[in-house]
Amino acid sequence: MQSTRSVRLAICFLAMFACLPSQADENQVHVGGGPATGEYINIAKSICDSLGKLFQCQAVETKGTLDNKKQLESGQVQIALAKGNAADDWMKDSVFSAKHVIIRRIGDESLFVFGKPEILQAAGSWLGVRENAFLLNIGLPGELSGDASVFNALKNVPGSPLANITVVMFQDRPALIKAVHDGKVKLGFIAQVPNPENPVFTAINESGLMMMGVVDPDMVVFGDTFRIKPVTVKNAKWFGLGGIAHQIETGNIPAAIVAVKPESLQGRAAMAQQAAIKKIQQAPEAELLPQQTWMQDLANTASLKAGEGLEKILSSMEKAAGGAKERLEHLGKL
């Protein structure tokens, strides 16, 4: 009888212990990255590496910026990457900002629009797309993607002609590239770190499509959230540049690192989160980014400020867009 009672007590004790979070679990940090075809997942892995052996850090593959917000709110991740403009909008929500904080900004994602050469030639430049949005449609790789959050931010600026463009959502980037190739939509829009080895650029190139930089006058509304930088993608074909490996200027968005506030957690989890945030804030940017040369070079490239540099680019884009309406209308009749 005594033996049976002891066994029962032992089972109950073990059951209670099993329900308690382990020290390892409380020390574990999950960092929300993005889809496999983007660079956020690679940056998330680098962030984990920078935290060192004291933390059990796991980079989590997600659907992108908006999905990361959901995972932060549900507690599935404690730290996540987000498009800078989207993170700024999140912080305007008092409920979200009460439990979350932007701990720093790193890196740059470049803005690209891609399509068949004849479509890009007819538009002339991003200004030709923007000013003739009513004649076009554009595809995005999912409602939860960071690409969608960036495009919608530009589209929703009061008075933007982009409000007149038809937007079609696709499952992911491969589906979007196929849709542009098949003519289901005329253009695709992505925000992508310009990794020359990224399969997205290879797929666009192999589909016979070309790419164009996106410099939008409304970017000045967002301040430092958007920057203009020269970028190069070796395996991408740029419209109007007659080949590969040419440098173009385009809009860039730094990634915001968003974290759950330590005071929103309990016990060792709160202490681990506080230590992780401090280490990320104090780490040199180079340590938080993948160590590829192209990534380090991009981080060290100076951005153009509003003024002579940006005005010169917009003037050139406006000249290239001259007659875009007539050219696009003619294409539509073919």
Over the stretch 186-237, which tens digit does the pLDDT of each residue have? 999 998 887 777 788 889 989 999 989 999 999 888 877 788 888 877 656 6
Give me the pLDDT at residue 106, please: 87
Across the range 12-32, mean pLDDT stands at 56
**In the chain, ranges of CATH 3.40.190.10 domains:** 21-107+255-295, 109-253+303-333
Torsion sign, CA atoms 142, 125, 195, 50: negative
**Residues sharing a CB contact under 8 Å with residue 330, sequence separation 6 or more, in sequence order:** 122
pLDDT-derived band at 310 (thresholds 50, 70, 90) equals confident
Q: How do residues 278-306 score in pLDDT, each as one tens digit?
A: 999 999 888 888 887 767 777 677 776 65
pLDDT-derived band at 308 (thresholds 50, 70, 90) equals low
Across the range 105-127, mean pLDDT stands at 91
Backbone angles phi, psi at 52, to 5 degrees: 80, -175
Across the range 151-159, mean pLDDT stands at 94
Confidence check: pLDDT of 275 > 60: yes
Pick the more confident residue, 132 or 311. 132
Least confident stretch, 104-118, 156-170, 289-303: 289-303
CA distance 133 to 216: 13
Q: Domain 109-253+303-333 carries which CATH code? A: 3.40.190.10
Across the range 39-50, mean pLDDT stands at 92
State the pTM of this model.
0.73
Out of 3.40.190.10, 1.20.140.10, 3.40.50.720, 3.30.530.20, which CATH number does the structure's domain 21-107+255-295 have? 3.40.190.10
The interaxial angle of helices 40-51 and 267-282, nearest 10 deg, is: 100
Nearest CA to 146 out of 107, 203, 119, 183 is that of 107
Least confident stretch, 28-42, 114-128, 229-243: 229-243
